[in-house]
Structure 1
Amino acid sequence: MSTAVAIWGRNVTKITQFILLGFSDFPRITTMLFVIFLVIYLLTLTWNLSLIALIRLDAHLHTPMYFFLSNLSFIDLCFVTSTAPKMLSTFFQEKQTISFVGCIVQFFFSATMALSESCLMTAMAYDRYAAICNPLLYSSVMSPTLCAQMVMGTYIAGLTGSLSQICALLQLHFCGPNVIRHFFCDISQLLNLSCSNTFSVQVLLVILTMFFGIVNASAIMLSYGFIVLSVMKITSAKGRSKAFNTCASHLTAVSLFYSSGIFVYLRSSSGGSSSLDRFASVFYTVVIPMLNPLIYSLRNQEIKDAMKRLQKKIVCCLGHR
Structure 2
Amino acid sequence: MIYPEEIPTVETLNFNESQKISEIIEGRNKPLLIKEAVAHWPIVKASREGKLSDYLAQFDCGRALVVFRAKAETGGRIFYNDSMDGFNFQRASGTLTSTLRALEAGEFADDYCYVGSTPVDHYLPGLRDQNDLGLDATGQLVSLWFGNRTRIAAHFDLPENLACVVSGRRRFTLFPPDQVANLYPGPLDFNPAGQTISMVDFYNPDFAKFPRYREALRSALVAEMEPGDVLYLPSMWWHQVEGLEDINVLINYWWRSTPTWSGLPQDALIHALLSIGGLPDEQRQAWGQLFQHFVVNRGQAKAHIPARCRGILADLDRNTSANVRNLLIDKLQKIT
Task: Give the TM-score range, shorter chain.
Answer: under 0.3
> How high is the TM-score relative to the length of structure 1?
0.23
Between Structure 1 and Structure 2, which shows a larger proportion of helix residues?
1
> How high is the TM-score relative to the length of structure 2?
0.22
* Higher RCO by CA contacts (8 Å cutoff, separation 6 or greater): 1
